[in-house]
Structure 1
């Protein structure tokens, strides 16, 4: 490259120094004897013109090569730039994943994919233990719970009749500067008047009544002289027009932090009627309630071991109702308790994996028309009961672990319980407040 430039400079210098136009005009008028000199000069000029043409050709070729080189270098630059960007992007993504892993206490997608995880389909369920559990616990508790329910309904009616003398809430029960009832204000008012109502009728009963949870509106504890305790919830509600749906101040297991004027809507009456609707069509002595009682028992026992989670008995009840809507009645015989129990647990596990468990009534067109669920409820958008698990990653991880531990401990918990009953141990009533 440097040699070519030097050659160009030398040729141009020779052309400048020897070009005839640079001489004065008078020098162009030469004598005849100098014709030989003129001829040599012309010959030299032609050589210079040929050399200049050759030089211009070489310069043109050189320029073309330089353009190609620059083009190749340009493409190369773009290629390496793109490759560098891809590498940089990959590194950044890896760093982001690493940083996210450091922030998250657990990878939520791996909760059910770990090698030691338990699946309801593969978990060990001893048929004899299940049968013994149903025979010794479920049937006994069913009879006892019927007697308890009868007593509670009578006592609640008596208490509320006495309470009605004073059911005129004033503007002090509303949120400040609004016409809307405040849940907390209503709860305080309700507790005061339930206490007064109990004072009026306490002479008729041989037990004591106390509030077992001051944060819940009607969480009452009845203690008999024998030491037996019955827990009940009387909750103030507001009826939705002329339907069997009610706005409730607090659910028994209410843990949400919704604003005070917002009352959750309860469809407990419709859900109870739906369960009765199924019961009429299921085989005699069907296993659907056994499944619900067993799952509720396992959940309560696991909660005692590892603490509370987002799962509640209401979620298990919802799963059971979904299965009752989708499976033939003949599949719910007592001999199928093991299979249906696995179905309930599988339904819950799949719902946890998807973080989605739809309300049984809202937006569900499979619900029989005989229940007369309001049309606005049937046509509404489905509500996800596991929405909190989508929003709270740590809560989801803890709930998934709770469920896994419950599956892992199920056989031991059932066997221990039936052994206590067989040996005359203390009877632990199954929770049916779902």
Structure 2
């Protein structure tokens, strides 16, 4: 019975499971276009995913914009809150920078510590030096180069000076004999300046620079007006001045009549009523600018060239050579031409002495120092050449025997000369080299200039020049330099003047500055090979000095 019941139940369950309405088969109702429906569903799914991604990007963009707006609002609020404090801080920083700059100019005018070593035997700047591309030869090579090249090239310096000075004495004496003391300028004895008289001339041919002071005829005299400092003097006019021509009986500096308007019934017993030199009135002297009492450099140039020509024609019959002008824009650039084809140049420079001092106003200096051209024809350049010569002579007496200071200057000048011939002239001149050496002589001890320290001092000189070029600052050695000994006799106006930056033109002329820096580093790069080459092969263009020939 139980078995039968089980069988009945099994049949019923089997019938229910296999009933087509309750449990249809898998493939019984599958439509024929199943694949098309699947494709549509997949395409719809992809569309939904793309839409979802787009919505997510928009939501993220909106959130970022909202965050940015909130951040800008916060920053603006913070700036508004801190504006007063920031303005105060900027003002304090500016005041601090000004104080530091004033302190630096007052106390750090000398060479920088990184260019000055503390011990006499160490090589300053070799460790951590900013010099690029410079490997100086050793001491033996430098000594050999100096002896064979530089000393050999300047062996005739003393004979050249003697020959030129003898001829110039004769020329100036002839000039004086042709001039009238009542109407013409009076020429005084010449003064030797520059490298030939400071014993560091290198370039061939040897060149003498001679100052020729002149004074006006009576009753006139020169009244120099020096521009060293002052608010009314532009920066590019510092170191210049003007020469006023006044009559001796019309100098009103010490008389009240030149400062007070006299009445019709009052008369000055010293000057009279109509003898005052009115401002702007034209002085009778032909060397003054038209309508001005100030001496004109162009007029002086023409007068000096004419006077020299007349003087040479007077004595030409005594000499077996010719005399000609070398550079037309330089008043006293002369050249002696010998029959052999050799020539000997020299410069006679008309100058005006400043108040019985060793300061001289120069109408034109040939090539150096390169301080630019005067804006006006009445501007005269102030020259310290006599003070420079005196300082070098005084310093040399305190240095050890055979000191290397002039040797350093000669080697640096030699390298600069050769580089100028390769790449053309730059803004760096021999006057800048000498200025750098004068600063180092003042900062260094005497024992630091021993002959054995030539390599160290030469490296230090080039390091000082590089630092000055990079900073565009090389101060004049005398103007505004209170470290110069008082025994030099500089006027107080010069000592207390604002320092004069010789590299100031580089600040305004960027392309010229770039060329100068490139030329300087090219010189450093070529220095070792140049020194080695000239140590082995000495040029054969050193002609012997002709003797002075006089026709009886």
2:395 paired residue number: 278
Structure 2 vs 1, CA of residues 157 and 215 (structure 1 numbering), >3 Å: closer, same or farther?
A: same
| Distance across 1 between alignment mates of 2:530 and 2:330 | 30
| Distance across 1 between alignment mates of 2:526 and 2:543 | 18
TM-score computed with the length of structure 1 as normaliser: 0.69
The structural deviation recorded for 1:218 is 1.0
The structural deviation recorded for 1:72 is 10
| Secondary structure at 2:380 match in 1 | coil
Match for residue 73 of structure 2 among 73, 78, 85 = 78
The structural deviation recorded for 1:241 is 1.1
**Alignment: residue pair count:** 324
**Residue 427 in structure 1 maps to residue 548 in structure 2:** no
Work out whether residues 126 and 411 of structure 1, in 8 Å CA contact, stay in contact via their aligned partners in 2: no
1:145 paired residue number: 157
| Distance across 1 between alignment mates of 2:352 and 2:334 | 20
Work out whether residues 221 and 229 of structure 1, in 8 Å CA contact, stay in contact via their aligned partners in 2: yes
1:309 paired residue number: 426
The structural deviation recorded for 1:118 is 8.0
Work out whether residues 153 and 542 of structure 2, in 8 Å CA contact, stay in contact via their aligned partners in 1: no
- Give matches, 1:192-341, under 5 Å: 192-253=306-367, 256-258=372-374, 259-341=376-458
2:166 paired residue number: 154
- Give matches, 1:4-403, under 5 Å: 78-79=73-74, 119=131, 122-164=134-176, 165-166=178-179, 167-168=184-185, 171-253=285-367, 256-258=372-374, 259-403=376-520
Gaps of 5+ in 2: 1-65, 79-128, 186-215, 217-283, 545-552
The structural deviation recorded for 1:382 is 1.0
| Distance across 1 between alignment mates of 2:169 and 2:384 | 21
| Distance across 1 between alignment mates of 2:140 and 2:463 | 21
**Where in structure 1 do 4 or more consecutive aligned residues deviate above 4 Å?**
71-77, 79-83
Structure 2 vs 1, CA of residues 77 and 266 (structure 1 numbering), >3 Å: closer, same or farther?
A: closer
Structure 2 vs 1, CA of residues 245 and 76 (structure 1 numbering), >3 Å: closer, same or farther?
A: closer
| Distance across 2 between alignment mates of 1:274 and 1:143 | 24
| Secondary structure at 1:133 match in 2 | helix
Structure 2 vs 1, CA of residues 77 and 253 (structure 1 numbering), >3 Å: closer, same or farther?
A: closer
| Distance across 2 between alignment mates of 1:140 and 1:197 | 35
The structural deviation recorded for 1:122 is 4.6
The structural deviation recorded for 1:428 is 8.8
Structure 1 vs Structure 2 CA RMSD: 2.7
| Distance across 1 between alignment mates of 2:436 and 2:67 | 66
Structure 2 vs 1, CA of residues 357 and 198 (structure 1 numbering), >3 Å: closer, same or farther?
A: same
**Greater percentage in helix:** 1
Work out whether residues 219 and 231 of structure 1, in 8 Å CA contact, stay in contact via their aligned partners in 2: yes
Work out whether residues 133 and 524 of structure 2, in 8 Å CA contact, stay in contact via their aligned partners in 1: no
The structural deviation recorded for 1:257 is 2.7
TM-score computed with the length of structure 2 as normaliser: 0.55
Per-residue CA deviation, residues 125-163 of structure 1 (Å, 9 max, x unaligned), is 243331112112333344311221222222222222222
| Secondary structure at 2:399 match in 1 | coil
The structural deviation recorded for 1:313 is 0.3
| Distance across 1 between alignment mates of 2:530 and 2:543 | 13
| Secondary structure at 2:324 match in 1 | strand
Work out whether residues 284 and 333 of structure 1, in 8 Å CA contact, stay in contact via their aligned partners in 2: yes
The structural deviation recorded for 1:77 is 5.9
Structure 2 vs 1, CA of residues 80 and 250 (structure 1 numbering), >3 Å: closer, same or farther?
A: same
| Distance across 2 between alignment mates of 1:276 and 1:289 | 11
Structure 2 vs 1, CA of residues 75 and 380 (structure 1 numbering), >3 Å: closer, same or farther?
A: same
